Amino acid sequence: MTIAPSVKNYLGEQEIDYQVVTHSHTVASMESAEAAHVSGEGLAKAVVLKDDEGYLLAVMPATYKLTLGELHDVLGRRFKMASEEELGGLFGDCEVGAVPPLGKAYGIEAVWDDSLTQMKEVYFEGGDHSSLVRVSGEGFRKLMAGAEHGAFSHHV
């Protein structure tokens, strides 16, 4: 598998230049960064959350940990983690756990951490556990346009 069709279509619709970086099969975002020889700071990971209003992608660097209390402060909502079964339904064209941070590509609300606003280039899961998508920082910000952002995670 390469990048998911939903990701590829969304990148095309937004006219974003991108490269696919392949690596050995991994199961965690930091493993993907290491396998692809990229910084975990520049790898945007997505955590899927839910509340009574629906699902949310919380996007932050792979080296960061989500703080639900701070996310509540940013959005005024209380979230819990979505289950692995729910992920399969939300991201049907992706391998389970390889969640792209592009909420609009999947009709899901997204919020992104302020720590990503100044990146010169950003990598992210493209839908499988063997490749990453690389876009310019400007391209990433265009992909996240319309999504709220704030400080809701911290470096670990």
Query: pLDDT (tens digit, 9 = 90+) per residue, 101-143?
Result: 999 999 999 999 999 999 999 999 999 999 999 999 999 999 9
CA angle at 84 for the pair 111 and 69, rounded to the nearest 5° = 40
The pLDDT, as a whole number, for residue 1 is 54
**Is 46 within 8 Å of 57 (Cβ atoms)?**
yes
The pLDDT, as a whole number, for residue 54 is 96
The CATH number that applies at residue 20 is 3.90.960.10
**Is 155 within 8 Å of 128 (Cβ atoms)?**
no
Range of the domain at 73: 5-155
Query: pLDDT (tens digit, 9 = 90+) per residue, 34-43?
Result: 999 999 999 9
Count: domains in the chain: 1
d(CA 73, CA 129): 32
The model's pTM: 0.95
d(CA 106, CA 13): 13
